[in-house]
Structure formats: C-alpha cells, structure tokens
A and B are shown apart, each in its own frame.
Chain A
Amino acid sequence: MYVAVKGGEAAITNAHRLLAARRRGDTDVPGLTLAQIAGQLSLAVDRVMGEGSLYDPELAALAVKQARGDLIEAVFLLRAYRTTLPRFGHSEPVDTCAMVVERRISAVYKDLPGGQLLGPTFDYTHRLLDPTLAGDEPVEAPATATAGSEKVTRVSDILGDEGLIEEDAMLDASRPVADITRTPMEFPMERDARLQTLARGDEGFLLALAYSTQRGYARSHPFAGEIRIGEVDVEVTIPELGFAVVIGRIRLTECQMVNQFKGSAKAPPQFTRGYGLVFGQAERKAMAMSLCDRALRASELGEDIVAPAQDEEFVLSHCDNVQSTGFVEHLKLPHYVDFQAELDLVRRMRAEHFKAAASTDDAATDDTQEAAE
C-alpha cells in the first residue's frame, strides 16, 4: 500500500494546537503573567531585548512566554515584530558618563572617583542551590543609598587624561550613522556597523570567541577597565525644534576593556580599547563583546590576523543567532529531491567501482594463467 504524504495543512494546525497545550502546561497550575516574567526572569528578558534589538521588557516577556523559554526563539519573535515598525530617526549617542549607575566596577584601580559599586550581582554568591526559593519566602528590602549628583567619570577618561590610552575612535561626523537593519553587510565593515552587529550577536557565540582570545588565539592582554550597569536618558533631536529632547530611559550594560598595545615607530606605547554596550543587565555579553571588538580591530591596529576572533567576515557573518538557527534548522525541511540526485550518483559510482574491481580481478587471474603456461 502506498500513502502519499499529504494533508500538510491539517498536520500543521494540529501541531500548533499541541504546541499551545504544551506551552500552557498543567492547567491546574496558574499561568505565568508577563509581569512575573519581566520581573522575576529579568535577565532572560534583557537578553531577548538585546539580541532582539528592541527595548521593550513587556514584549520581550511575551516573547519568552510564547517561546516556552527558548530564548533564541524569543529573540526571533521580537525581531520579526521589530522589522515591521516604522523608523522615525536615530537617537543622539547616549551619555554613559551621566548614567545613574546601579553597578560599577573597575578591575584596574583599587578605588576611584565614584567608587566601586557591586550592585545586583551573582559575583561572590556561593553557587549552592537555595531551597527557600522553591517557595515564595519574603525577601529583605535592599539597602539603598541616594545617588550622588556628580557624574561618574569613566575609567577610560581617567587613563585618557594621561594619554595612556588611545583616543576614542571617531567616525566622520558628516557620514550617516550605519544601520545594519537597513543595509546589507559589506566588508570591510566600519566600526559602528560592527558594534551594532556584535551588540545583537549571540551571547554564547561571542563568549566562546572572547574565551578563545584569552587562550592565545589572538591574545590581547585585556583588563576590565570598567563595567557599569544603570539607566541613561535617550535623546532624539527633533528637526522642527532644533534641539534634543528626552524620549525615555533605558537600562544598559557598558564594558570598556583596556588592552595592551606596544606602540610603533610613529605612536608612543598606549593601551588600546575594546568596547561593549548591551541593552539591560547583560554583563557577560558586554564583556565578550568588548573582547571581540578588540580582536576585530586587528587590521586597524596593524596586527597579524591569525585567529578566528580576528576574522571579520567569520565573526560578523555568523554571530547572529536568528540567522544561524534558521539555516541550521532548515535542514529539517525536506531535501529529498537533492538527496535523490545524490543517491543516483552514488549508486552509479558504486556500480562502476565494483565492475572495475571485478575486471581487475579477471585480469589478475589471466596473468597468473599466462605465467603458468
């Protein structure tokens, strides 16, 4: 009996019904609210906002819920929504120096103006599973202090005042700001487009590449100059007004890596920079991004390109997890037409192989006979 594979429409509908039921899980258990996800799984929500490149905790929470906690699927949902939104313009560069910091640490100075501020970190927690979290025990109110009114000077500015670190790279101001969502990639890529690409790159991919630079594949002697997390104002210049107005406030994680550079005949020895800036609280991502950014500056700094992390096309073409997951998973789609073509070829080649082997055997037998005669 032969039953052709048909009825795809019904199969899809039924699969999606099953998905919806599995997503909901046991209906005796209350369903998750978006406020619960945004409030209690906030680092998942932050990652989805960062890699989805859309700052909206509520939508990101919805995406996490809809994706059953699959964060790459959630990133994809958010991206596919984002792409339908009209683009009104671009913001002024955010001033992270004016950030209301909740966390700010530097690994290069013991103490510094503005102080070291640990903030809500996993650092120094002992990774022991905490059974009390299985319930809903009341938690202590956090200790707070009033934020100082003075700006928290960036470590890179402290180094910069002494000329010890290179100047921040400046792009031609008359040039329009890159927008990787509206222009296809082109290599070599300018740093603004590269940082955008890294900012929404996959955390795991960038983490592994960053790690590889520490293990000698493009070693850059990094120091965590500064990591800061907090809220900044977003300003947009309205052409009709002629000045910038604040349109909102977002939480960001910024990492400035300070790296060694020997200097050259022309330039005195100076530290170099790697930069990371990510939506929300995403410290691991910001650190990985800054190491990758530094590695990708190899050709700009005249370094030999010897490792994957320095290879611009390799890193930037493969760091987007929405693209990666789509293409890897597309292998699930039917490929039987191509496979048929390969099957046919392999069968023919095998037939020829055995035929050739058989005739060689025959020839060998003849030779023996001739020798015997």
Chain B
Amino acid sequence: MTSPATDAPEPTLARYNFAYLDEQTKRMIRRAILKGIAIPGYQVPFASREMPMPYGWGTGGVQVTAAIIGPDDVLKVIDQGADDTTNAVSIRAFFARTAGVATTTATPEATIIQTRHRIPETKLREGQVLVYQVPIPEPLRFLEPRETETRKMHALEEYGLMHVKLYEDIARNGRIATTYAYPVKVEGRYVMDPSPTPKFDNPKMHRSEALQLFGAGREKRIYAIPPHTDVVSLDFEDHPFEIQSFDQPCALCGGEGVYLDEVVLDDRGGRMFVCSDTHHCESRRAEGHRGALLGDEASADAASATVKEEM
C-alpha cells in the first residue's frame, strides 16, 4: 500500500457557518492576510475571536485556515510533525465537521497544511499553503516585553538588541544557544519569529514554493511569507547559522537528513531516534526502506493504527 488515501468528506453541520467563522470575521481575517502577504514578515494586528478551543492551542492557525479554506481544499494538520497527535486530530476533526472538507495525512495531496512546531520534510510545492500556529509572534518579546517598544524597533528596523542577545549566547556558551523559534529576517527587512519550529526547519522557509501564513490568536497577529521570498536566519560571520544534525538515521525508516524524535524505550537508558514527520516516515517504509529497529515481519501498511515491533 502506498501513502494513506484522502478521507471522504463528512457531511457539513448545519448549525454553524461554513468553517465555523461568520462571514464578517472571515473578511476581517482575509484583509489582514492580504496585508501580511504584501508586507512580508510584518505582524498585522487583527481582531482575533474566541474560538471553541483554548487560546494557545492553535486558535490563530485555526482562524487563518477557516478564513481561506474552501470546499475543494484538502486539509492536513500536524503537531510536532505528526498527524496523529491529539491536538492535530482534534483540529482536523473540527474542520472535517464544520467545513466538510477532505482531510489527508499525505503531504503532497494537501492544499492546506496547518502545523504546530514543524515544517514537513517533503518539499512543498506551488499552490500549497502552510498555516503555522504561533504562540508568541514577536521575536523581540523576550528581550523587550513591551509592545509599544517592540513596535518602535520594527518601525525603525532597529534590531541591535537581537544581535546582542545572540552574541551574549556565544560569549556564554561558545555558540548561539537558540535551538527553536530561531529568528529570521524576511526579505532583508523584518525580523520574524518562525514559530517554535526547531531551527532545523528554518532553511525550508527560504524561497519556499508554498505560501506561508502565520496566525497568533491570543496575541492577535497574522503574518506571512509569500513564495520565493528570502528568509535568512540571523547569525554572525564567525558563527554562521547551522542546523541540528543527528548521528544516526531514523530507526524505523532509515531516513537521514530529517528531524528525529528521541523515544525512551526502557528505564535502562534505551533510546531510539525516529522521524518526527510521521507521513515522511510511513511513506519511506511503504517504499521498502527499513530502519535498524524495524523487524522483518513488520507490515508495510502505512495506514495501520499502531506501529508495534519486537526489539
């Protein structure tokens, strides 16, 4: 069997508008999205609504997705790279119910991918939209808690504070000690928070073919990176930006050059490293790739509910 099939749409609930939000709210969000695209990396304030899931659990991403999604879209939702984490399941079910859209776990089949903390390993293509859930959209927030001050810094393109912070890292730790939510500069103008993705994913944002939209519900900000846009991770000449690398391939699919999760196997120090991107890992196994800890009798059925193996 190849990659998981796209699920059939469920019937739309009559009680709410298509995709839950009322049309006036969608218009307001759509206007903010257009401004965000026109000013790449700039955080557009928007009148975020209360959603039927808590703030901090993806309300910004959900509002962006609800404002752009149409009946022909195919939606994928991931959290930590995985389609089957509980919050991803919950958000996917929300849209299947309120918008009646088809959902998928297959990255290439999706037209909209809503994500928390990862960018899929599969290269995104033109026509796809990647919607990020963002907790704290302001990259300068941990250096300066005041909105009035950070807004001024963006206006004046005054990012010295960020460089000082990164350089203090180097002085103290011998390296830049930021491993996720690593700040980027967009099109040479705005310093932007890529959301708490590992810095491993930062290079995927650079000149991506997909449109990238960012929604921060609690903080009421939307921002965007159009396709083919320069996204450069901040660094220094003597300390260039570098991404994490793993000493071993994925234990299940043998994949290399991908982001891995560490799984604790027992209380005696047993560890294994597996792909964080579940769809990537499953497709590779379906293609016959085998990792060190994937036994011979393992089914290649990528859609099976559990992966269970004797060590």
Contacts and interface: CB of A to CB of B under 8 A. Distances in A.
Direct contact of A and B (CB under 8 A): yes
A344 B52 CA distance: 36
Interface in B239-259: 244, 259
A340 B262 contact: yes
A342 B46 CA distance: 32
Contacts of A182: 47
B80 interface: yes
Contacts of B93: 9
Interface stretch (B33-41, B54-62, B123-131, B156-164): B54-62
Contact of B80 (A186, A329, A337): A337
Given A4-B307, A9-B89, A323-B55, A341 B199 contact: yes
A2 B80 contact: no
Nearest to A344: B244
Interface string B22-65: 10000000000000000000000111111110111101000000
A7 to B, nearest CB: 5
Contacts of A349: 173-175, 177
B118 A80 contact: no
Find the residue from A325, A333, A342 having the highest chain B CB count within 10 A: A333
Contact of A184 (B46, B80, B200): B46
Given A84-B16, A181-B47, A330-B57, A336 B89 contact: no
A338 interface: yes
A102 interface: no
B87 interface: yes
A352 interface: yes
A182 B311 CA distance: 56
A337 B49 contact: no
Contacts of A343: 262
Find the residue from B54, B272, B308 having the highest chain A CB count within 10 A: B54
A298 interface: no
Contacts of A344: 179, 244
Nearest to A356: B174
Contacts of A317: 147
A312 B164 CA distance: 28
Given A82-B50, A185-B220, A326 B85 contact: no
B51 A80 contact: yes
A330 B56 contact: yes
B306 A8 contact: no
A11 interface: yes
A313 B138 CA distance: 15
A341 B198 contact: yes
A9 B86 CA distance: 7
Contact of B308 (A2, A76, A184, A345): A2
A194 interface: no
Contacts of A84: 16, 22
A239 interface: no
Interface in B249-281: 259-263, 265, 272, 274, 276
Nearest to B93: A9
Interface string A186-200: 111000000000000
Given A184-B221, A327-B55, A336-B261, 7 more contacts: A6-B84, A82-B50, A187-B147, A322-B54, A322-B55, A333-B57, A341-B200
The 3 closest A-B CB pairs, nearest first, are: A326-B55, A330-B56, A341-B179
11 contacts: A2-B272, A2-B309, A4-B307, A8-B86, A181-B49, A184-B45, A188-B148, A323-B218, A326-B54, A330-B55, A333-B79
